[in-house]
Amino acid sequence: MSTTALDPTTARRPGDRLLPPLQIGPHSIDTPVVLAPMAGVTNGAFRRLCREHGAGLYVAEMVTSRALVARNEESLRIVTFDEDEEVRSAQVYGVDPATVGAAVKIIAGEDRADHVDLNFGCPVPKVTRKGGGAALPWKRELFTRIVEAAVEAAAPYGVPVTVKMRKGIDAEHHTYLEAGLIAESLGVAAVALHARTAAEYYSGHADWSAIAELKRTVTSIPVLGNGDIWSAEDAVAMVEQTGCDGVVVGRGCQGRPWLFADLAAAFDGRPDRVRPGLRMVAETIYRHGELMVEEFGDEDKGMRDLRKHMAWYLKGYPVGGDSRRGLAMVSTLAELRELLDALDLDQPYPGEAAEGTRGRQGTPKRPHLPEGWLDSRELDDEFRARLAEAELSVSGG
């Protein structure tokens, strides 16, 4: 994480709240923490699991505007929420203003969600090579038109729109300050910054000083910080160093839905933290499995989707290779129960071994962009045609 710090204007005493509630349009989020939408992770089952541990704004997996307009069955499933989700939050990705506007109108006009986030942060090559995701704000007119279309489509229904973005394409092509000002001027309810460029992907350390700079630049709406929040202490440090109005948590909660309990305590000024022994971890895994089966209405599909979470849950715990392999291939709830019960469930929390990074990391990558993309900030007809191909079937990275 960045160590660039701002001078705190006041000293907090134990028990003092770190921040006031986060205001997203008409919605007040008491704990100013947002679950980042993650493809294949933040489905209804995982969101419920996180809600059972803590509080915040929990965003569904990203869907593409084209798929929503086509009423793709999987996309409509993704924007289906539990009755007890107080603020139903959907994230939309798109590269065509008219299609994005139509998708947002479906979500807002059909009362499918209470909040829409626009994704301009995806660094995945299959998206950026066609000019989408983190590459798109470089074309300022297109970015403006997309945000404008979304805000106009949502406004009649009182649904706030927010923007999530990265610093830019690479160290020489930053876009976040300009994009933040454009979004603010068009009436978005908040902006969130993942403090890495597309080239940095998920590698290295997030540049928290960029979040501070965005906060100094965008002054009339909340600015949220994202990147390298692996613990409640990281969230507190980000707020104190950048002045941001809330935090967005992604990979840090993978295999650790109880992180939201830690975050709620930290933002309330309380020192208590969840440090689970293996028994609690096992019960959480089984609960996750039950919710997955309920989510998909299919035990086999639910278990297959659960498998990728196993390594995250068991990080740092001395669980043998055979047990790990068995859990990574589990196919029924009965088998899951048997495998979990066979573990040494009296193991205590392993400490530092269970902390820190998880999920995808990798190394910096040269961004995959359309040929000549960086030559101009304007969008010509050839690039307009290419951008139409950037909207993938359902979900991106």
Structure tokens at 165: 């973005």
**Whether the Cβ atoms of residue 143 and residue 118 lie closer than 8 Å to each other:** no
Residue type, 235: A
Cβ-count burial 8-39 (b if 16+ within 10 Å, e if not): eeeeeeeeeebbeebbbbebebebbbbbbbbb
CA distance 260 to 309: 17
- A 10 A CB-CB count for 332 gives 14
Of 50, 122, 244, 253, which is the active-site residue?
A: 122
- For residue 231, give every residue at least 6 positions away whose Cβ sits within 8 Å of its Cβ, in sequence order, or none: 252, 259, 262, 355
CA distance 395 to 298: 21
Is residue 122 annotated as a catalytic residue, yes or no? yes
**Whether the Cβ atoms of residue 325 and residue 346 lie closer than 8 Å to each other:** no
Catalogue the active-site residues. Answer: 122
